Each structure stands twice: as structure tokens, then as C-alpha cells.
Structure 1
């Protein structure tokens, strides 16, 4: 896979502390990648000022942009001490996720990095609409950052889907593991694989008294274990690092991440729009609120963002 040579960091304008930028610097120092600190700003009141001409409104907007560029230049100074060159970009746009994705596509970025927001009082993650849109619509890997260190010899947990053997799932599993291998080599990390499998359908046990639920469950589990072990062997991952657990992925993944004290969870995500997105959501969106470590979401091969021309 292509290394992370160009990293785009979404800056949080509400704080001087930038965990996403710190993580990007940590990554870039391992591969000499370039970093761009990206900030989207917008003030609706400037657009609604009818007494001003379009030229005057543009001048006011530019004044705000200039102010934020000065703030951003100051904000990145602590992170630039690493010796890395960090470029900055400030954009006026009313839909932050759209400006981020379009810029990432235009600049052929390899990795998008953004911090999630933690509520100080409740210590719970507030997953913003921008985060949801980035996970669903960005055509490149998206790293959601939390305040969890990446020590040497840490653990990377790859959530793979071995329930299906079709090409799409197989290719996505490969991409997930290749991203893990890339990061593991940089941080001397251990790679673990996890797969959740469905339990015995309750209606079968009720409708068919002679149905052997225990035998069915054992068979399904054994099938998943064989498939995940085959996948692990393909990438020289130790079999003791394979985990097959009964349950939904959004339950199994956070439980194992906590048990392993993983530094990073990597999983595949597909873009959804409209009604299905509102109803179903993605596993990534359920998992991110339940883990205390970073999450890297990877798109299927050939995925095309709805924001691409």
C-alpha cells in the first residue's frame, strides 16, 4: 500500500491543544511525510449583511481569514519544533466536512486526521456531524484521534469481516491489515485481528424444538475461527492474536480493545447517504463512542466520494 506521504489535519478552532496535529507529527516523523493544518471558518452574519456590497462583504471575510491564519500560525508552533514543516490552510466554507474532503481530493492526500471532542465533565465523546460525514464520505483513510498515547510495542486491533468470502470483503480485509502492517512497522506494534459472529437466532430455537442450538453455535464459531486463522497466516500474524467472539461488531470490538488496552482500532467503513444512513449508520460510528483509543476507518477499494467530480 502507499505510505502516508501527505497528511491533512483538521484543526479544532475552539482550543489551542490539538491532539490530531500531535498525532500527525508523530506519524510524519516516522515517514518524513508532509503535514497541512486545515481550518474551516464561517460566520453566517457576514453573509446576511445586506447593507454592505459584495466587495465589502468579501473584504470582511478576508479580514476574518487573515485573523485565523495568524492564530493558526501560532497554534502550530509547539508542534513545528519537531523540525517538520507544517503548512497551513484556512478556508471560508459553511460545510466544514465538504471543504475538508474536497481539499483532500484536490491535494491527493493519503491520510485525514481529526480529533474527536471529549466533554470534560462527563468524560464522554461527543461525536460531531462533521465526524460522521468524514467517515462516510472521505475516500481516504480517516484517523479519529483521542488522548491515548501510542507507545512502542503497543497493540493495533484490526476488525475484519470473515463472514463472507466475496471479493469486496476480502479486499477490504486486506486494506485494513495493510494499514496495520504499515503502522506496526513504524511503532513496533503488535497486530491483533477480531471478528464478531452472530449467535443462534432465538426464533429457530423456539420454532424448532429439536434444533441443537449449541451445535449450531459451535459450527459457526469454528467456521469463523478457520477463516480468521487463514487470513492471519496470509500476513504472518500470530494465531494467538486472533480473536473470535460471539456478538455484534459494535459490542465485540470495544470490549476487546479495552481488554487489550489497544492504541488503535482499524476497521472498514462504507459510505451511506440519505435515509439508510440515518437509520443504519456504520459500525465505525457506533464503535468510536465506545472506545478510549484512536480509530482508523478505511474505505473499500474503488470507493468514490459523492463529493468527487
Structure 2
């Protein structure tokens, strides 16, 4: 573990205590890391008020930032009482993503923690929320907290994807499991392993499907099913996942994953984020689809991540 690494909690600008605070403090304690809490403020009305001169606006903005900074300090007090090193910061900035990425480039943060903001599907279709922007651009493991029944997660789900060619992201599924196992060790939790595959999509991608698209080849389907099962068992075996904690399902990955997490009281789902190009990136990856369906929190990693 890198002793100079810290956890970064991106706080809501609304000055309210959210489950992400409790999760961030608990993880910092479990990992033996310091915690930096930062809020990015920008009030449209205050920023563009036309009836007040620029000097008065600057005073008003500074007053708001000062109030928020003092509020964050009150949230840090109980964290420091349990032995954590906690620093706080408030930044007045219109585009939070740019400033977050600057923070992540300039300082050695091991993980970014943030409350998942609820956004309706039509709002997500018209605008790209900060959470989705972070999902696509964050260079460190990204922990979205939806709720935290327990400050430290007890049940952790490693969601793997064996449908992606291994030569494209070699060892990534093993990395997802490794991150889940490390988190479980730090939190004294239990890891479940899940692979959901879409047999229909695989059948479409199979060689020769275009020539026989109106006929369902049961032998091909059986071959695909058996191959996925064997690959999953091999993956679980080499990572030491006991048979009773292995779960293989068929269906739409995002939907099945959400139902599984609900039915098994999962606290955190560890899921991979792949880099998409072209229209696939515009439509959104499985991770983006899962993000707003999950009843639990999510830890999103990409192939280049290495978490402490």
C-alpha cells in the first residue's frame, strides 16, 4: 500500500450529510489512508447576478464558499476523532469535471468516492451528468455510493465479463476479482462472483449467423453455453472463489446484475469499465447502464487501475 495515497471524497454542494461520508471515512480507516473532502460550488444565480457589481459579487461568493468550508470542517470533526487524517477544500468552479481531473492528476489519490446523483433517463439522454462524465474519464477507481446500510461493505459482488476478447483486455476479469477480494479483506466482507452473458448477442456474433439469421442452431447455442460455463469455472478456480459463491446467469447483463444485487443484499458491485469508441461509446457501456439500475453502490475500475 502506498502510504502517501489518499482517498478523495467529492462532496455534494448542497451541504447535507450523505452516506458517502460514512463510507469514505470507513474505507479510509480500513485502508489506513488519509481522506481529502472537496466540494465544487457554483450557483448560477450568484455567478451571473446582473444587479450587483463585480466586487460585491466576489464578496458574496467568498462568503458562500467560507460557509461551505466551515460546514465541511464540522463533518470532518467526528472523522478525526476516530484517528483519521482529514483535509477539506471548497472550490468555486462552473465545470466540476475539469477541476476533479486536475486534482487527480496533481495528487496521488487511490480512489474517488462520490454520492450517486439520481438523474431521470430523459435528463441523461439530453445532458451528460457529472457521474457519467466521471465514469468515462476518471483515471482512478471510482466508488459511487447509492446507499450505505453499513459503513463498511459486508457483501461484495465481483461482476465479470467473459464476452470481451481476452487478448483485448488481458487479465482484466482477474483484476476485477482481485479488487473485490482486497476490498473484502480490508472490510472483513464476503465476495460473490457473478457472470451474466447474453446468449442471443453471442449467437448473433457467431460465425455464419448472417447467412442463417432466421434459424436458431441449438447445437451452436449449446456450444456457446458450455464454453461460457467452462471459462467462468476456470476463472473462479484460479482466483480461489468457492463453488457456493460462483453465480452464472444468462440474460441482459445490466438487468440481471441489478436483480441479483437486490436479491442478495449486495453492498458494493465491483464492475469493469471498458473504453468504447464510435457509436458504442455514445450509447453507453454496460457499466453506464448498470449504474442507474443498481440498488447498491458500485466500484468501477478500468484495465489500467491498480488499487491499494
Q: After TM superposition, is the score higher than 0.5?
A: yes
Q: Which moved more, 1:16-25 or 1:77-86?
A: 77-86
How has the CA–CA distance of structure 1 residues 29 and 50 changed in structure 2, closer, same or farther, with 3 Å as cutoff? same
| Deviation, structure 1 residue 216 | 2.8
1:51 positional shift: 7.8
Residue 296 (structure 1) shift: 0.5
TM-score normalized with structure 1 length: 0.82
> 156-165 or 167-176, which moves further after superposition?
167-176
Tell me how far apart the structure 2 counterparts of residues 91 and 98 of structure 1 sit (CA, whole Å).
Answer: 12
Alignment root-mean-square deviation, CA: 3.3
1:299 equivalent in structure 2? 302
Q: Is 2:219 the counterpart of 1:250?
A: no
- Residue 52 and residue 266 in structure 1: after superposition, are their counterparts in 2 closer, same or farther (change >3 A)? same
Shift of 1:28: 1.3
In structure 2, how many angstroms separate the alpha carbons of the residues matched to 1:41 and 1:221?
A: 50
Alignment partners' CA distance in 2, 1:73 and 1:151: 20
Structure 2 match to 1:84: 84
Count of aligned residue pairs for this structure pair: 296
Per the TM alignment, residue 88 of structure 1 is displaced from its structure 2 partner at its CA by: 0.3
- Of 278, 286, 289 in structure 2, the residue corresponding to residue 286 of structure 1 is 289
**Structure 1 residue aligned with 2:112:** 112
CA distance in 2, matches of 1:252, 1:263: 16
Distance 1:2 1:228 in 2: 32
Specify which of 225, 231, 234 is matched with residue 235 of structure 2.
231
Q: Indicate conservation of the 8 Å contact 2:7/2:35, yes or no.
A: yes
Q: CA deviation at 1:77?
A: 2.9
Match of 1:266 in 2: 270
* Aligned partners of 1:221 and 1:244 also within 8 Å: no
**Could you tell me whether the CA contact under 8 Å between 2:20 and 2:115 is conserved in 1?**
yes
SS at match of 2:178: helix
Q: In 1, distance between residues paired with 2:264 and 2:100? A: 33
Q: Distance in 2 between matches of 1:283 and 1:263?
A: 19
- TM value normalised by structure 2: 0.82
Pairwise mapping of residues 127-142 of structure 1 onto structure 2 (< 5 A)?
A: 129-142=129-142
**Measured at CA, do residues 150 and 60 of structure 1 come closer, stay the same or move farther in structure 2, by a change above 3 Å?**
closer
Q: Distance in 1 between matches of 2:53 and 2:278?
A: 37
Gaps of 5+ in 1: 304-309
* CA drift at 1:234: 1.8
- Give CA-to-partner distance per residue, 1:128-173, whole Å, 9 cap, x none: 8111111111011110112233488932111111124423433321
